Structure 1
Amino acid sequence: MGLSTHVLDTMHGTPAGGMAVALFRFQQASGAGEQAELVKRFTLDANGRNPDGLLYGHDELRAGRYRLSFDVRAYFLARGVALPEPAFLDVVHIDFGVADPSQHYHVPLLVSPWSYSTYRGS
């Protein structure tokens, strides 16, 4: 089923087209702990989605821990929003786990310059 994301700009009531996003996968590092390895960077299309579709297709998604990083500050500045320096939100990181890669994992982000929320969507 794969992995997808969708971002809605709750300040303007629109999809967050133009926002830069990075996808990471956590790998076991030599020694102790995990290290986040970059999988891909992309810019959201006018619908607030990855222009290439799924971030991982059904056959590619593996169980494990992942991170989506959303460049919220740069997005709102580009939209002409006056932000304080430093901005309240800069890059929003969502760390999440995939337990069953046969299921679809959708990670939506609802965001304004002052708040955000996420959930496991369908």
Structure 2
Amino acid sequence: MSGKITTHVLDISTGRPAVNVVIELWRMKETNQLEKVKESRTNDDGRVTKPLLEDNEMQVGTYQIQFHVGDYYRENNLNQDPQFLEVVPVQFLVSNEREHYHVPLLIAPGGYSTYRGS
């Protein structure tokens, strides 16, 4: 079994997938600085089309996914007054490069939730 990192974004305020959300994957270097690994956007189902990392790209370490939800709300005229969320960072540990790490994000204008999915 080969490992991978996947994600999806659901907008629970509309009950729909969050389309066209910019997602950046970052890896923590030994110097505790973040290094950008990949950037993607969610599709019509709120998912990235390909895993953010997979197979030989997977390494044990600390990762952060940055979800650019502020742009999503502005582009879809879902603005709130005042705007609260801009970028949601989710930092997690990959302890086994052969496992599947699914990191979904549930968003609403005033908050978010995440968990390790399957």
- Calculate the TM-score normalised by the size of structure 1: 0.90
Q: Which AA in structure 2 matches 1:120? A: R
Distance of 2:55 and 2:110 partners within structure 1:
34
- Partner deviation per Cα, 1:24-54 (whole Å, 9 max, x = no partner): 001012xxxx010001111111111112x11
Q: Which residue of 2 aligns with 1:60?
A: 57
Q: Which runs of 5+ in 2 are unaligned?
A: none
Distance of 1:82 and 1:72 partners within structure 2:
11
SS in structure 2 of the partner of residue 74 of structure 1: helix
Paired residues for 1:28-47 under 5 Å: 28-29=30-31, 34-47=32-45
Q: Which residue of 2 aligns with 1:97?
A: 93
Aligned residues: 116
Identity %: 38
After superposition, the CA RMSD in angstroms is 1.1
- Calculate the TM-score normalised by the size of structure 2: 0.93
Q: Which AA in structure 2 matches 1:58? A: D
Q: Which residue of 2 aligns with 1:4?
A: 6
Instruction: Report how far residue 82 of structure 1 moved.
Output: 2.6
User: Post-superposition, which runs of at least 4 consecutive aligned residues in structure 1 deviate over 4 A?
Assistant: none
